[in-house]
Structure 1
Amino acid sequence: MKNNHLLPFKPFALLVLLLCITSYSYSQKPDYRYEVESLLSEMTLDEKIGQMNQLNFEGLNDELLQKVKRGEVGSLLNVTDTEVINILQKAAIENGNGIPLVIARDVIHGYKTIFPIPLGQAASFDPEVARIGACVAAAEASEHGIRWTFAPMIDIARDARWGRIAESLGEDPFLSALMGAAMVRGFQGEDLSLPNNIAACAKHFVGYGAAEGGRDYNSTSITPLALRNTYLPPFQKAIDEGVATVMTSFNDNDGIPTSGNSYLLKDVLRQEMEFRGVVVSDWNSVGEMITHGFAADGKDAAMLSANAGLDMEMNTELYVTHLKQLVQEGKVSVADIDNSVRYILQMKFRLGLFSNPYVKIKKTSVVYTDAHLQAAKEAALKSAILLKNENNTLPLKETQKIAVFGPMADAPYDQLGTWIFDGEANHTVTPIGALKSDKAYENIKFTYETALSPSLKDADVAVVFLGEESKLSGEASSLSDINLRGTQSALLKEIKATGKPVVLVIMAGRPLTIERDLPYADAVLYNFHPGTMGGPAILDLLFGRANPSGKLPVTFVREVGQIPLYYNHNNTGRPAPDNARTLNADTKDVKQTSVGDVSHYLDSGKGPLFPFGFGLSYSRFEYSELSLSSPTISMNDSLIVSVTLRNTSNIDGVEIAQLYVRDLVGSIIRPVKELKGFQRVSLNAGETKIVTFTLFSDDLAFYGIDLIRKAEPGFFDVWIGGDSKTSPDKKRFELK
């Protein structure tokens, strides 16, 4: 089978690229310093404090208009009516102090045209998927007056119980940093003042993904070294990319909520990381410091946040209520307020709001254009992960009779995933919708049953669509049980009992614990909620019109008791071998002993169900002849790492080659493996390519025992393979 599924997408991809043209470099210039200082010098204290106030829009009324006219509002959330936005802007500019509002909304993985959830986009291992998705979202959202979004979320997420893992880019700092930076480029473009670009927001600063027990909003206990080596790198990458804003997290770390943590916001974010944009709180997180027990009351909370360097407060109006009095009492300085307002005004100048504050009604909408829909489909194609394919059950033959089952086969809203305030179910193309209406599949013979007592009759194969409702992932959607819910597993088992081949297609917002389900499926295609065009993308993959290429951006555990389990962990003094003793062995005569014991679970063993970076293809790929340009590398130098990659099948495909490194000895224990590079490599049937990576000495740097980032001399192992459990073939080099 020749797989040329990319060909039909080239014209559409070109259109999207023209629409989303951007620069891969970023410059702070112009910085609007003169304009900002001139305006700041004319503002009253009340007007300055008003710029630091962000309100949620709950309807157009005289009270809100008066607040805007008095200069008590700097930003509004969740206004999507362009006429209302223009009324509010007129109140601010013509009837107020002349400073425009900035309109913000959560546009996470699409505005109207919904792309796969961020975790799904990360599975593509393709920053262009993230960039184009963000660019499409910006184009559609800005058409409705939205100029600021609260994405990307670059929290490192290693606990599948946490609902917001869906909004994350996975467990790995390197992958998350590259994908997050690509989203920043997509949202902001080369010139933020262009009306189709919007300000991005790197969130949540910092460590929110490490919430205890995977419970949303919970405390974290991240050490200074872990903070710098694991949780901060994606933020640094976003800052280097020119991200306009950063959002503080809900959680406390080590007892200090970030919205009042002067060390994190001033010393780390401003000084160490050199962030020069707006710091905004998360929803009500300033007020929640009272509930935490960190602030005595609203006035105390406002003081703590203002002194910590929080520029804009979302929703609670504690700044507007208390800051002026705090200044009069000498508890908050005007200088700190001026610094915050400088960043806010600079953002508004960069967005071009002073010259173009009003929303222009376009004659032709870009929402749901063919280019956007095709880009969303391409993203869904690249994001799907083939986890199992026994006896070459997939791809299906178009001559086969297909029996379709399961709640996710025709679930237009749930297919979109979490964080889709503006997504529309009636524009979603589900698998059943595509089978019924897409001319490309008009010759497919299928039946669709929703009954719990399935009948396959004359069918050649059963395709079972299972997964999670969209409300079961995302914010405030943590779960302690992440098995398939309800009777889904029972349905799958019953269908398998018919003796027919079974293809399991999962759509979910997290890596579910599916070990118990795998015996009842001959093939498994996993999709992190794939968005508007998920249906036709999945069908293309099932019928071989496209070849799966996605890889897991997060480890799949066997059961929740293994959490947290991630590939780039530290080694223990007693690491477990792959064949470590478990209760599955005959243990009745084994006496209690600690001799030779290793770090693992007796019941679930050592390893995951599927490792980070794993993903199958209809093609077969073979790695060989790993080589280094030199056995040594000097400081401030580079090393070329190469491998021969061959497609040994008769099917064209794409393999994501991944480079991993291990620092054998350091001033602190180094992870057993760290991702340092990846490439999407297209190979025709039978084709061989030399895949080359350049490894710089700075890629080996980390924060050591002295809390200084540097590469330490010593020996390193390096691998290139198809996942983090890649073959034992490795090379060793020395950093001198």
Structure 2
Amino acid sequence: MNKYFLLIALLASTVNLSAQQTTSNQKKVAALLAKMTLEEKVGQMTQITLGVVGTQVDGEINQEALKNAVVKHSVGSILNVTNHALTVDQWHNLLTKIADEAKTTRLKIPVLYGLDAIHGQTYTLDATLFPQNIGMAATRNIQLAKAITKVTANELRASGVRWNFATVLDCGRQPLWSRFPETYGEDVFIGKTMGAAVIKAYEEDGLDKTTAVASCMKHFLGYSASRNGKDRTPIYLPEIEMREYYLPQFKEAVKAGASSVMINSSIVNGIPVHASKYLLTDILRKELGFNGVAVSDWEDIKRVYTWHHVASSPREAVAMCVNAGVDMSMVPYDFTFYDLLIDAVHKKEVSVQRIDEAVSRILMLKMKLGLFDNPYPEESAKANFGKPEYQTLALDAAHEAMTLLKNQDEVLPLSKNKKYLVAGPGAQSISALNGCWSYTWQGKDEQWYPKDSKTILQTIEDKVGKSNVVTTTEKGFEGIKNFDGDALIKSAKDVDCIILCLGENAYAESPGNIADLALDENQQALAKAAISTGKPIILVLTEGRPRFITNIEPKMNGILMAYWSGKKTAEAIADVLFGDYNPNGRLPYSYPRSSGEIVLYDRKPAEDIREVFNDDIHTGYNPLFAFGTGLSYTTFAYSDLKLSTKNLVGDEKLHVSVTVSNTGKIAGKHTVELYTRDLYASISPDMKRLRAFEKIDLKPGESKTVKFSIDKNDLAFVNAKLNTVTEPGEFTVMIGDLMESFQYK
């Protein structure tokens, strides 16, 4: 049995909410709703940040402020931390005080608490952090993604929190975007399959169980398609593109049972998504069939007035967004939404029926989560926090994320009997290994990381001994010594190789906005200093998005992409560099060569062509490293690609098989990817699309036949009438260096 299957089974068993339970909850919600005043209903739709009811001391409650929020304003939800992560006991104490206060209200409706636990339980000290989504996409391992999700759910619930604002389903097709590391990369198929699996893993045990939490699809819809790459900036997205590349992930997540959705902060084609009835009601509710809670993002209903200027007053903004389909407002600092919505109802700008609809969804979620039965943190859930096996899983995930991009003359793996210079700002930075949402929002404050967290420098010293390692670095990413090129040149004289650690320090959301994908000048200068020594250089990249390295890549002997891979990133890096782990990650995006050539792998034929004097030259897709790149210390060969038929008809399945052999000298994991191409269609077809993948493990000399099944739905596209169709014609199946064609009729 796959060990991740086993771990998932051990963490929890699958228990689905029965139809009988659902009916019972619906009756309870209806009965409760009938007793509620308008003020109590609108309070349920109000979400505030912890700072409103807390003090300047993290984890402390201002009892008077709490009473004002919960008793006077009937708030339905609280989120966030004041500054940094808390201990499990601090969470239990805080949440108990909130539950106690809710018990004093007329109807005793519990408060639902929510956090952004996007790569582990972000906001509990010593919780286990795993790779960011972009690193998990590199693993191409669905079962591994589910296993780490189960741990996140366990550690959230152990903290007393039952609502997680995860996972991000935005398609990462704009590499400048500061939330790119939270995505599963540029491919739709990886995004929808891994995303849906994660959503299901959060919830499938049953929301009333201590191994599950309510998930949240983020951010509906098109958030990542920012025209200028800045966070929360305008998006211009033709609907045909929206439906082809950005909607499928949410469609699958709805099918997987997502309990909630968070709305895109920006505007799409000039309309704030929070105020778009077309997107939030017509598509999300009616077309996709979503019936969970729709929550705004941070302060975004206010911004319909203050930023976007489509509402002429704050009250009009509230009315527009609630009427469009927002059920809960992340206000988050005050009670203006509460006051304005009550006023809007009195003025008949929002109907009571719409209020009841929103509140019913919120109450139903609280029912499913068992909050009405027990609104307090569950003492028994504490046993699921910090288990030793979680650290093993974190290392497994970091290992499988590691993506080897270059290995010139087989310079890797390195010998443990030579001397090394470890340089660069990433060498002694913990935050640059974890990235955003890591015990603090930005992830930069290293005092909150677990005390046993290791740096790249430490793990290399562990491999070869401190006497064989020289460094020119200091702790933290921004330290001046980290960028001293002269010191690097001097220190390199007596070493055999330079391990150069470059990339990005942690950032989240708008603070991560950049104007250029180029590495900063200090890092470029450091790389040039390393090149000037004439020593072999291994470049280790810890970054959330692809920063340009085109000018230094030719002089790098080896390049390892480590992403932001969580608690065990440094250990995984050292294991790969010194041959104790055979890398098997694959790039989940096309690593661009230059700003003028950001072309995605599933490009249109015309994007592939650069016309020169009427000659069509196919150089349009010319990234530094292509989507799917990922080297190994062994070699794999493909043979015997077979299709079950050359003529696929109607709803029939096309069965595809291929033999994969490990032709090298060591064991290795390998992801087999199946792509298709539609040669001609009514809409210019993509050059290739990933349709299936499977990760296998092969010993030296071992071969395995990998089988896939696809059908017309896997070949479909969105046509000019915005319908998803499969047109008759010729298709090509591509696996590795092999291809076969068939006709669809």
TM above 0.5, yes or no, is yes
Over 3 Å counting, the alpha-carbon distance change for 1:414 and 1:29 in structure 2 is farther
1:380-406 per-residue CA deviation (whole Å, 9 max, x = no partner) reads 100011000011111112222232222
1:494-550 per-residue CA deviation (whole Å, 9 max, x = no partner) reads 223333322111101111111112122111111111211111111111111111100
Matched with 2:522 is: 487
Over 3 Å counting, the alpha-carbon distance change for 1:652 and 1:25 in structure 2 is farther
Over 3 Å counting, the alpha-carbon distance change for 1:107 and 1:29 in structure 2 is farther
Structure ranking higher on relative contact order (CA contacts 8 Å, 6+ apart): 1
Matched with 1:446 is: 469
Matched with 2:712 is: 697
Superposition deviation, residue 702 in structure 1: 2.6
Structure 2 SS opposite 1:615: coil
Superposition deviation, residue 327 in structure 1: 1.9
1:299-351 per-residue CA deviation (whole Å, 9 max, x = no partner) reads 00111011111100112544311222222222211111111111111111111
- Which region of structure 1 is more displaced relative to structure 2, 512-521 or 544-553? 512-521
Q: Which amino acid aligns with 1:730?
A: M
Distance 2:322 2:103 in 1: 26
Over 3 Å counting, the alpha-carbon distance change for 1:27 and 1:734 in structure 2 is farther
- Identity of aligned pairs, percent? 35
Structure 2 SS opposite 1:286: helix
Distance 2:69 2:408 in 1: 64
The answer on 1:732 being equivalent to 2:734 is no
Distance 1:515 1:124 in 2: 25
Distance 1:237 1:539 in 2: 37
Q: Which amino acid aligns with 1:732?
A: S
Matched with 1:243 is: 258
The answer on 1:309 being equivalent to 2:325 is yes
Select 2:498's aligned residue among 462, 467, 471: 462
Matched with 1:525 is: 560
Structure 2 SS opposite 1:470: coil
Distance 1:646 1:26 in 2: 44
Superposition deviation, residue 662 in structure 1: 1.3
Matched with 1:64 is: 66
Select 1:628's aligned residue among 637, 640, 643: 643
Q: Which amino acid aligns with 2:572?
A: A
- Which region of structure 1 is more displaced relative to structure 2, 695-704 or 655-664? 695-704
Checking the alignment, whether the CA contact within 8 Å between 1:109 and 1:117 is kept in structure 2 is yes
Select 1:20's aligned residue among 2, 11, 36: 11
1:206-228 per-residue CA deviation (whole Å, 9 max, x = no partner) reads 00110111111111111121111
Over 3 Å counting, the alpha-carbon distance change for 1:608 and 1:78 in structure 2 is same
Structure 1 SS opposite 2:596: helix
Structure 2 SS opposite 1:326: helix
Checking the alignment, whether the CA contact within 8 Å between 2:662 and 2:699 is kept in structure 1 is yes
Q: TM-score, normalised by structure 2?
A: 0.89
Structure 2 SS opposite 1:276: coil
Superposition deviation, residue 96 in structure 1: 4.1
Q: Which amino acid aligns with 2:528?
A: K
Distance 2:511 2:293 in 1: 26
Structure with more helix by fraction: 2
Matched with 2:602 is: 568
Superposition deviation, residue 191 in structure 1: 0.9
Select 2:45's aligned residue among 42, 52, 66: 52
Q: Which amino acid aligns with 1:406?
A: G
Residues 118-197 of structure 1 mapped to structure 2, 5 A cutoff: 118-197=133-212
Residues 326-341 of structure 1 mapped to structure 2, 5 A cutoff: 326-341=344-359
Matched with 1:89 is: 99
Residues 341-420 of structure 1 mapped to structure 2, 5 A cutoff: 341-361=359-379, 366-420=384-438
- Name the count of aligned residue pairs: 698
Q: Which amino acid aligns with 1:460?
A: D
- Which region of structure 1 is more displaced relative to structure 2, 105-114 or 89-98? 89-98
Checking the alignment, whether the CA contact within 8 Å between 1:480 and 1:560 is kept in structure 2 is no
Residues 598-637 of structure 1 mapped to structure 2, 5 A cutoff: 606-637=621-652
Over 3 Å counting, the alpha-carbon distance change for 1:700 and 1:606 in structure 2 is closer
CA-based RMSD of the aligned residues comes to 2.4
Distance 2:718 2:16 in 1: 26
1:184-242 per-residue CA deviation (whole Å, 9 max, x = no partner) reads 13322421111232111101100011011111111111112111111100001111110
Q: Which amino acid aligns with 1:324?
A: I
Superposition deviation, residue 486 in structure 1: 3.5
Q: Which amino acid aligns with 2:323?
A: N
Residues 210-221 of structure 1 mapped to structure 2, 5 A cutoff: 210-221=225-236
Distance 1:295 1:200 in 2: 31
Distance 1:361 1:475 in 2: 37
Distance 1:712 1:55 in 2: 50
Please list every run of 5 or more consecutive structure 1 residues that lacks an aligned counterpart in the other structure: 1-6, 582-593, 722-726
Distance 1:165 1:401 in 2: 36
Checking the alignment, whether the CA contact within 8 Å between 1:416 and 1:428 is kept in structure 2 is no
Superposition deviation, residue 492 in structure 1: 2.6
The answer on 1:110 being equivalent to 2:120 is yes
Distance 1:555 1:666 in 2: 25
Distance 1:224 1:474 in 2: 25
The answer on 1:30 being equivalent to 2:21 is yes
Superposition deviation, residue 253 in structure 1: 0.8
Superposition deviation, residue 17 in structure 1: 3.0
Superposition deviation, residue 734 in structure 1: 1.1
Superposition deviation, residue 685 in structure 1: 1.0
Over 3 Å counting, the alpha-carbon distance change for 1:314 and 1:29 in structure 2 is farther
Over 3 Å counting, the alpha-carbon distance change for 1:107 and 1:28 in structure 2 is farther
Over 3 Å counting, the alpha-carbon distance change for 1:27 and 1:244 in structure 2 is farther
Matched with 1:590 is: none
